[in-house]
Amino acid sequence: MSDSLVAVVDLDLPGPTISRHVYGHFAEHLGRCIYGGFYVGEDSDLPHEGGIRLDVVEALRAVAIPNLRWPGGCFADDYHWRDGIGPREDRPRMVNSHWGDVVEDNSFGTHEFMHLCELLGADPYVSGNIGSGTVREMSEWVEYLTRGDDSPMASLRRSNGRDNPWRVPFWGLGNEAWGCGGSMRAEHFADLARQYATYVRNHGDNTVYKIAAGANGDDYAWTETLMKSLSCLGCSREPQSYFQGLSIHYYTMTGTWGVSKGSATEFDVEEYYVAMRRAHRMREIVAGHAAVMDCYDPKRRVGLVVDEWGTWWDVEPGTNPGFLYQQNTLRDALVASVHFDAFHDHADRVVMANIAQTVNVLQAMILTDPDSGALVLTPTYHVFEMNVGHHDAASLAVRVKGDVPTREVEGAQLPLLSASASTKDDTALISVSNLDAEEPRTVVLDLRGRDVTASSARVLTAATLQTHNTPEAPDAVAPVAHDGLRPHALGLELDLPAHSYVTVSLELG
């Protein structure tokens, strides 16, 4: 076993709060995410409420799902909300041209989504259509959802069975405007974002946090253009509040876009390290966008929203290539843990993140079998569950003494240890990932500033990096109590198995 590293955590020096919304989710009309995932219809033999699958709801409530983004994604800029309200038998059908070129019947629309959010206890994040929609269409959707008097849209909502308005705190101004959302130049979209945002109004006591469609990966020029469009960000008076958040999208893959993104389950150790290196790039990308935003917004009034992130592998053999159904291994769990450490470390700027996607698509939390109806929780799901203690907790810096072990990957040094920590209500949670595929490691946790009265640990790992959960082996990758935690003169000593994710829970005096 390698020599111990020492990680210093000052328990009495809380930093910026880690928003629970960093643990947000994304549900697009794509493959079997909505239809066959969340929504099985009112004729299903599976337990449901209004067609919404209840075991999916129960699983997501167990990880305290904070928000859900819908209806896309690329689908959002083809979606016209009036097609998804009223009696289901009267709703027009539409072509989902982005994902499988399939025809869908709009049986899951605004009311069904809002009912889903109510069942989940999650805040709705609605993505509005700028690509093919109109200003009036978006403005009326906000009114339909959130206005309480006898306005035209509130009356229309009541005619469709909902008396009281809903609370919709998050609103997306378009999606990937640089690509599927309209193939726009940044300057053009910046003007549209200002225009549309003007008509996304607050109704009653519903205050909308507006999020402009942001950059692809490390396109910092896109972010700079949008930040420049907000008047007077650097001056003493308040800036124009056209939007309060700015998004970025970044996916982890080991192949090449348009050729092969890499297999979800058939990969060797070298490809694993490539995935870890590319996942680690999220830290660099967030830091780069934050630096640009700091130039125009030093008071950090505008939040960074990473509303699409995760792994993107080749689809499972034999499945529809437009449905983006992929398996989820221990490697995916470690990709998630690396991302969360990056988000925690930038809690002063990152206000929300949404994994892509929640059910049956890309780096899903949940997989459902289309034949048997069986539900499987993925390794990624368990990282979310193990991290619930970070929700709305104050971040704590983790400082490693000495050199963190690294491995050269694609011409860069990949740190093989990743960690973050937080504190809340006389507790603390420390998350540590050992990314070394083969070697275990020991870390001494030098805990300062407060007394630790109790401690425990859990570990997520498996015999191989390729291990994944199936209906036949649903707990092949699942967290268990970890006995590799013991007292040390500085605090605690923690054993980290190879390719593992460990959380340490502390009770503080």
Provide the residue type at 50 as one letter.
Answer: G
Give me the residues paired with residue 270 across strands: none
| 127-166 as b/e: b if 16+ CB within 10 A | bbbbbebebebbbbbbbbbbbeeeeebbebbeeeebeebb
What are the respective helix, strand and coil percentages of the chain, to the nearest 5?
25, 30, 45
Helix (H, G, I), strand (E, B) or coil at 333: helix
Q: Which residue has the tokens 């210093």?
A: 8
Q: How far apart are CA 466 and CA 474, in angstroms?
A: 14
Helix (H, G, I), strand (E, B) or coil at 189: helix
Told to judge if 104 belongs to the known catalytic residues of this protein, a careful annotator would answer no
Q: What are the residues whose beta carbons fall under 8 Å from the beta carbon of 329, sequence distance 6 or more?
A: 264, 265, 379, 465, 466, 467, 468, 477
Other C-beta atoms closer than 10 Å to the C-beta of 408 total 10
The one catalytic residue in 28, 104, 143, 176 is: 176
Told to judge if 176 belongs to the known catalytic residues of this protein, a careful annotator would answer yes
Measured over the CA atoms of residue 69, residue 73, residue 76 and residue 77, the dihedral's sign is: positive
Strand order of the β-sheet with 452-460 is 17-18, 393-396, 417-424, 427-434, 500-508, 452-460, 480-481
- Pairing mode of beta strands 350-356, 303-311: parallel
Reported in sequence order, the residue ranges of 228-278 that DSSP labels E, i.e. its strands, are 245-252
Q: How far apart are CA 386 and CA 409, in angstroms?
A: 28
- Pairing mode of beta strands 417-424, 17-18: unpaired
Q: Which helix (H) or strand (E) holds 119?
A: helix 110-120
The angle formed by the CA atoms of residues 273, 279 and 282, to the nearest 5 degrees, is 150
DSSP 380: H
Angle between helices 269-296 and 220-228 (to 10 degrees): 20
The one catalytic residue in 308, 316, 439, 507 is: 308
Q: How far apart are CA 294 and CA 314, in angstroms?
A: 37
Which of the residues are catalytic?
Answer: 176, 308
